[in-house]
């Protein structure tokens, strides 16, 4: 077939699809208007024909019937509105790929067009466009022209692909198309990656790579751990995986309410918030560990944020202090500390619960030995708090059994009083109630738990701490850690981050938690920044869930991380079916920036680079800070003139970012991103500390003050690596004085 014939064929098909979409939209919009009118009328009818008093029981049935009907109507209306939204997106770009597939045993070749969503001709029931998540679409992402196979609900389907074609369609018009023999032609990926950044993460359905697709479509494993180098698309893949799982929702009985993402901070949550709606799915719940903490403790306690914690570390007065804080955090996040907490809970049960004999009506109704024996019997496999509540219920039930006899005694005592002005029966009831209440309060002194108070007790006696830590590997600075923690726990509304997470672990062990029993899928991003205790928390909170955990050990800046972390995660969850996947190819940055960043880390032999060539990173030495400000402004203006709208100046810490903002704000339009204000839009020229830049990307990056004073430790090296790998197209590294030794070999 000639090129002209191919072009005519594709234009004809595109016109057919656009017309079909227009017809659907016209019909759907008229239906939506009708449903809207019906909904308004149904609400008016319910209001007029039902009682609004809860006391009118005869009409409650009528009200419930109206509410059920309204609920069904509302659902139908919402589903239709969602369908309209999908078709409006499709009319802009209905599909992006085509494969010609001949199934084994058949002569007919089927033209499979692939887009964001399914499109069916209602008259012929022919699928005109297949959803990118459909089983047959996997061929496009995984196979070259030739023999192929894919898994379908009916089983393994084999056949042959004779054509792979890729399209660029914009505003309903064909811009170009080309045929390719490989998975995703470099030209298509090049076009996608060459685009400028937006304030939200973009979908990648047009350019999903084979290895990424295998992760997205994995339905076999209960635990999927993904290690991905900076720019490998691991966060995007995780979100597209969620979209795929929701597409499979009918089979998996999975909806948006059953899925949760654990994000490093609210800024990152905001950045990724557009992906699922773009893919036609509802947004899901996104939590940080701080959010989980407040949920567990119902806002009665408050912990410092992860960002605050890191800021405290990197701005510490000395390297010794920084190392101490890191050691403190590492210890409280370790396997060892979780074991200490487990042992202390056992010690608390045996030694510290103030059981006492309970008297009522002049006799013992519960001996303290009996309560303690019940708690320690091991017959009930449940948390301490729930066992104590059973003890409490049992005691109060015994009180109820004796209340008539006790009330009679009180009444006799009241009647013996001379010249009293009391109505005997009511006064007796009052005295009995007060007595019972006082008794219940005494009982609750040993049946009610306060996890925060229990956690403080762990550090209140150094001898007890060391006794329960016997034969465990403690840090050399354990005495200082205990003393430091004692002081830090004085304010329940300012609990250090590491203690907050450890307290969550203790609370779950003591009380149990059923808050998240509906969650079936959990995605954890920035996995490298969490300690074993975080994963124990997740395991116990989301007991009925499967997990997708993504990270990059090279971007761990709070602690030492290695690939062994992923073995620890697998061990903690102990799922029957788990898999570790490595994404080693970087797509985000230009070849020059990616290679520069890998050399900085000493990781260039372990990273593959996508060959998108642009300018080499610039290392800019400035004699003084005043001149640096002017040079930075010039660089910003240069980047703007080149068409880059997303520019980030990345500083080491919050104070440095704030100082730079006040220096530059009078010279150019800039925006400060702070962990106290996550509402900022990630557009324009931004200034932010490096730990808030993790997971984000920008057209151009200016790294501020990369000198030997600011960046001189192994942790600083990773901070610098993170800063550099945020850049898509341009990277400038500014410094005064002596350049950091990590960059000396890169000049």
Q: What is the DSSP string of 433-496?
A: HHHHHHHHHHHHHHH---HHHHHHHHHH-HHHHHHHTTTS---TTHHHHHHHHHHHTT-TTSB-
List of long-range contacts for 302-305, beta carbons under 8 Å, 24+ apart: 302/492, 302/493, 302/494, 302/495, 303/495, 303/496, 303/497, 303/499, 303/500, 303/501, 303/503, 304/494, 304/495, 304/496, 304/497, 304/500, 305/265, 305/497, 305/675
Strand partners of residue 287? 262
| First vs last C-alpha separation in the chain | 53
**How far, in Å, are 473, 687, 689 from residue 659 at the CA level?**
42, 10, 11
Please report the pLDDT score of residue 183 as a whole number.
47
Query: Residue 60 has what pLDDT?
Result: 60
Q: Is the dihedral of CA 150, 154, 159, 165 positive or negative?
A: negative
Helix H or strand E segment including 715: helix 714-724
Q: How far apart are CA 448 and CA 458, in angstroms?
A: 18
Q: Interhelix angle for 384-401 vs 424-447, to 10°? A: 160
Tokens of 679: 């509402």
CA distance 553 to 21: 46
**Residue 128 pLDDT:** 96
Could you give the C-alpha distances from 198 to 677, 681, 699, 745, in angstroms and in order? 20, 10, 9, 33
H helices of 353-461, in order, are 368-376, 384-401, 403-416, 424-447, 451-460
Structure tokens at 255: 């909806």
Token pair, residue 252, equals 């998996």
Residues in the chain with pLDDT < 50?
Answer: 182-185
Residues 6+ apart with CB under 8 A from 232: 552, 583, 584, 585, 586, 587, 588
Please tell me the distance from the alpha carbon of residue 497 to that of residue 516, in angstroms, as a whole number. Answer: 22
Q: How far apart are CA 173 and CA 195, in angstroms?
A: 19
**What is the greatest pairwise CA distance in the chain?**
117
- Residue 22's H or E segment, with its range, is helix 3-49
pLDDT in tens, 439-496: 888 888 888 899 999 999 999 999 999 999 999 999 999 999 999 999 999 999 999 9
Radius of gyration of the chain from its Cα atoms, rounded to whole angstroms: 32
Structure tokens at 221: 């494993």
Which one, of 719, 682, 673, 694, lies nearest residue 235 by Cα?
Answer: 694
CB-count exposure of residue 134 (10 Å: 0-12, 13-18, 19+): middle
CB-based contact 74:67 (threshold 8 Å): no
**pTM of the entire predicted model:** 0.89
- Measured in degrees and rounded to the nearest 5, phi and psi for residue 702 equal -115, 115
Predicted confidence at residue 506, as pLDDT, reads: 97
pLDDT score, position 634? 96
* Listed residue (683, 638, 634, 633) closest to 661, CA to CA: 633
Backbone angles phi, psi at 188, to 5 degrees: -65, -45
Determine the pLDDT at residue 70.
80
DSSP state of 374: H
Q: Nearest CA to 552 among 520, 574, 530?
A: 530
Residue 228 is predicted with a pLDDT of: 92
How does DSSP classify residue 350? Answer: I
Q: Which residues contact 237 (CB under 8 A, 6 or more apart)?
A: 204, 208, 212, 215, 216, 226, 228, 550, 583
Give the single-character DSSP code of 674: B
pLDDT tens, position by position, 344-362: 999 999 999 998 888 877 7
């Amino acid at each position: 077939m000639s090129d002209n014939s191919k072009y005519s064929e594709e234009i004809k098909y595109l016109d057919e699809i656009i017309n079909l979409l227009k017809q659907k939209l016209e019909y759907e919009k008229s239906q939506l208007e009708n449903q809207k009118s019906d909904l308004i009328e149904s609400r008016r009818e319910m209001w007029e024909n039902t009682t609004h008093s809860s006391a009118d029981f005869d009409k409650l049935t009528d009200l419930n019937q109206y509410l059920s009907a309204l609920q069904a109507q509302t659902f139908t209306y919402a589903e239709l509105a969602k369908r309209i939204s999908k078709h409006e997106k499709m009319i802009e770009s209905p599909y992006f790929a085509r494969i010609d597939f001949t199934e084994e045993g058949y002569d007919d070749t089927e033209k499979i067009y692939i887009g964001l969503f399914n499109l069916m001709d209602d008259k012929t029931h022919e699928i005109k466009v297949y959803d990118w998540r459909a089983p047959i679409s996997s061929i496009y992402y995984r196979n070259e022209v030739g023999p192929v196979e894919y898994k379908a609900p009916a089983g393994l389907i084999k056949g042959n692909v004779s054509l792979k074609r890729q399209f660029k369609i914009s505003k309903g018009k064909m811009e170009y198309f080309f045929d390719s023999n490989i998975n995703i032609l470099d030209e298509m990926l090049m076009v996608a990656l060459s685009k400028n950044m937006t304030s939200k993460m973009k979908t990648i359905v047009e350019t999903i790579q084979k290895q990424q697709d295998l992760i997205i479509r994995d339905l076999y494993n209960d635990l999927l751990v993904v290690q991905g180098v900076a720019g490998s698309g691991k966060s995007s893949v995780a979100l597209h995986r969620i979209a795929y799982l929701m597409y499979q929702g009918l089979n998996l009985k999975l909806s948006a309410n059953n899925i949760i993402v654990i994000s490093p901070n609210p800024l990152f949550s905001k950045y990724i918030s557009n992906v699922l709606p773009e893919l036609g799915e509802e947004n899901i719940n996104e939590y940080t560990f701080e959010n989980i903490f407040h949920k567990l403790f119902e806002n009665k306690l408050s912990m410092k944020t992860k960002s605050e914690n890191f800021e405290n570390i990197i701005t510490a007065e000395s390297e010794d202090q920084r190392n101490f804080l890191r050691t403190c955090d590492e210890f409280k996040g370790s396997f060892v500390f979780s074991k200490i907490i487990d042992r202390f809970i056992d010690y608390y049960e045996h030694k510290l619960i103030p059981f006492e004999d309970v008297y009522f009506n002049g006799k013992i109704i519960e001996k303290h030995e009996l309560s303690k024996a019940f708690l320690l019997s091991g017959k009930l496999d449940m948390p301490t708090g729930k066992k104590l509540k059973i003890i409490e219920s049992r005691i109060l039930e015994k009180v109820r059994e004796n209340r008539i006899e006790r009330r009679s005694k009180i009444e006799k005592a009241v009647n013996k009083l001379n010249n009293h002005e009391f109505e005997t029966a009511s006064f007796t009831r009052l005295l009995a109630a007060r007595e019972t209440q006082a008794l219940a309060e005494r009982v609750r002194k040993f049946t009610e738990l306060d996890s925060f108070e229990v956690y403080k007790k762990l550090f209140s006696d150094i001898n007890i701490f060391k006794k329960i830590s016997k034969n465990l590997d403690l840090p050399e600075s354990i005495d200082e850690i205990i003393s430091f923690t004692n002081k830090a726990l004085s304010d329940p509304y300012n609990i250090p981050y590491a203690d907050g997470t450890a307290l969550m672990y203790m609370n779950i062990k003591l009380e149990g938690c059923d808050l998240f029993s509906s969650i079936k899928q959990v995605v954890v991003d920035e996995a490298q920044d969490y300690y074993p205790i975080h994963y124990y928390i997740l395991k116990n909170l989301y007991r009925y869930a499967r997990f997708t955990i993504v990270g990059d050990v090279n971007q761990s800046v709070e602690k030492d991380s290695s690939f062994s972390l992923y073995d620890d995660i697998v061990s903690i969850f102990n799922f029957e079916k788990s898999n570790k996947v490595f994404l080693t190819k970087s797509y985000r940055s230009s070849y020059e920036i990616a290679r520069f960043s890998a050399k900085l880390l000493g990781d260039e032999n372990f990273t593959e680079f996508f060959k998108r060539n642009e300018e080499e990173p610039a290392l800019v030495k400035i004699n003084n800070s005043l001149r640096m400000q002017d040079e930075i402004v010039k660089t910003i203006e240069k980047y703007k003139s080149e068409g880059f709208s997303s520019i980030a100046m990345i500083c080491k810490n919050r104070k440095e970012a704030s100082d730079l903002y006040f220096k530059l704000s009078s010279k150019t339009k800039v925006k400060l991103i702070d962990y106290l204000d996550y509402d900022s839009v990630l557009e324009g020229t931004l200034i932010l500390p490096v730990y808030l830049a993790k997971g984000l990307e920008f057209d151009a990056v200016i790294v501020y003050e990369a000198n030997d004073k600011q960046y001189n430790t192994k942790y600083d090296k990773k901070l610098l690596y993170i800063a550099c790998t945020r850049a898509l197209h341009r990277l400038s590294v500014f410094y005064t004085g002596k350049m950091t030794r990590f960059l000396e070999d890169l000049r």
